[in-house]
Amino acid sequence: MVEIYLILFFILGTIGSIGSRGGWVEEMTCIYIYIYILGIVCISSIEQHYLYQ
């Protein structure tokens, strides 16, 4: 499951580096996407923690 998130981070990082040449709008979008994915990772890890107890 962690591999999927690492691949997503890599793809978003690539998009972010391309987007930074385009302007600050793309950068902000990437930051929001990073925060969104971090939220998903946190929620899923918390769910797993409680499910497997």
Tens-digit pLDDT profile for the chain (53 aa)?
667 777 777 777 776 666 556 555 666 777 777 788 888 887 888 888 787 76
Tokens of 9: 């981070």
**What does the domain layout of the chain look like in residue ranges?**
2-51
The confidence score (pLDDT) of residue 34 equals 78
The confidence score (pLDDT) of residue 41 equals 83
How many Å apart are CA 9 and CA 31, to the nearest integer?
11
Return the amino acid letter for 24. Answer: W
Distances (CA, A) of 32 to 9, 18, 49: 13, 16, 26
The confidence score (pLDDT) of residue 43 equals 84
